[in-house]
Structure 1
Amino acid sequence: MRHAVDYYFAPNSPWTYLGHARFARMAEEAGASVRVLPMDLGKIFPISGGLPLPKRAPQRQAYRLLELQRFGEALGLPLVVQPRFFPVAADLAARLIVATDMDHGTAAAMRLTGAVGAAVWTQERDIANVDTLSAVLTECGLDAALLARAQTPEAQAQYEQNTQAAIDAGVFGAPSYVVDGELFWGQDRLDFVARRLLA
């Protein structure tokens, strides 16, 4: 059976970065189809009980840093737990991934998603900056003209549609994977995603 996965994420999320390459590999190995769906957590948190990072209790913020360090080490992934440009607005990066998916398809959008995550969490680059995103596109072998496409009403409408679809699916955090209608939240649930894809 060929499974379908709706992949909901925020491109600036460290957890998205930590899970992205593993998810991409397992989806490919399982022959699953993937819908790349960057979403606006700023609209999802208020209706799902979540809080943006600066508003979380100090204990939660401190533990988050510890968990990021643990997961980075356990997964063997480079990670700056407190990068220079975080928190940072991710809407333009999200729309750029949307535009890439529209014009070049899933594989290109997945490649760009990984590169944007690495830009924040290993390279300490500002993904809210147009020049940074232009450079990341070039590094991915994509045309910098996609930045203009990312700022069209069509890209914005698709971004909003992704966010509403996430809300409708019960998503409340990033990354989330919906496999044939079943929700899995967090990169630490990828073992369960893998089992579901092989079922």
Structure 2
Amino acid sequence: MVSVVEYFFALNSPWSYLGSARLAAIAAKRGAQVAVRPIKLGAVFSETGGVPLAKRSSERQAYRLVELQRWSRYLDLPLILEPRYFPADETAAAHLVIAAESAGFDALALAGAIGAALWNRNQNIADWAVLDETSLELGIDVEDLRQRFSPEELSRTHDANTRAALDKGIFGVPAYVLNGEVFWGQDRLDFLDRALASIRNDM
């Protein structure tokens, strides 16, 4: 049986971006599938006591930048600490990822590419021109997806993903769920890898 990792994330999250490629590599190595679940992080914060970045203390905001720089260097993954278009309205981008997942495309690769547009290339992921260019690089036709899936349908899925995250006890992103066990944060990917390896060894 193929293991399925549910991946709950937000495209505005630099931590989701930093973990995206590693998640894909782990899944490929362990023969696992990834169910891609963009969520509304603001709604999760409001129900779980999370504090939006702009409302955090100056000390916490400053340390976040230190940690982002550390991880960027450690992973050798370029990251703009304070991108011009952050935070972006990620609704359209999240809906695009949901549509790509529903249509059978590599939604994890698309989510990673959109994250790179924001955190590496300093682009506005609320701009359809950016989303179109990013998608075409992966062989995904944005206009085709927009015709196949209505905004209302995609919005319902976005809300359902958010509700599912809350029901599973998720309070931040990225979060990875394997057989009901939550791994929160891209710095927990090693534990996810070990859990997947353990399942394969037991088969």
Normalised to the residue count of structure 2, the TM-score between the two structures is: 0.93
Give the CA deviation at 1:51: 1.3
Alignment deviations for residues 82-136 of structure 1 (CA, whole Å, 9 cap, x no partner):
111111111111111000111124xx21111110010001100000112211111
Provide the C-alpha distance between the structure 2 equivalents of 1:136 and 1:51, rounded to a whole number of angstroms: 31
**How many residue pairs are counted as aligned between the two chains?**
197
- 1:85 corresponds to which residue? 85
Give the CA deviation at 1:11: 1.4
Residue 124 of structure 2, aligned match among 98, 123, 126? 126
Contact 2:96 2:142 in 1 (8 A): no
Structure 1 gap ranges (5+): none
- 2:24 corresponds to which residue? 24
Alignment deviations for residues 7-48 of structure 1 (CA, whole Å, 9 cap, x no partner):
000012100010000011101111112211000001100111
RMSD across aligned positions (CA): 1.3
- 2:103 corresponds to which residue? 103
Amino acid at match of 1:183: V
Kindly report structure 1 stretches of 4+ aligned residues shifted beyond 6 Å.
none
- 1:184 corresponds to which residue? 183
Matched, 1:43 2:47: no
- 2:151 corresponds to which residue? 152
After TM superposition, the structure 1 = structure 2 runs for residues 161-172 of structure 1, keeping only pairs within 5 Å, are 161-172=160-171
Contact 1:83 1:124 in 2 (8 A): yes
Provide the C-alpha distance between the structure 2 equivalents of 1:67 and 1:148, rounded to a whole number of angstroms: 41
- 1:198 corresponds to which residue? 197
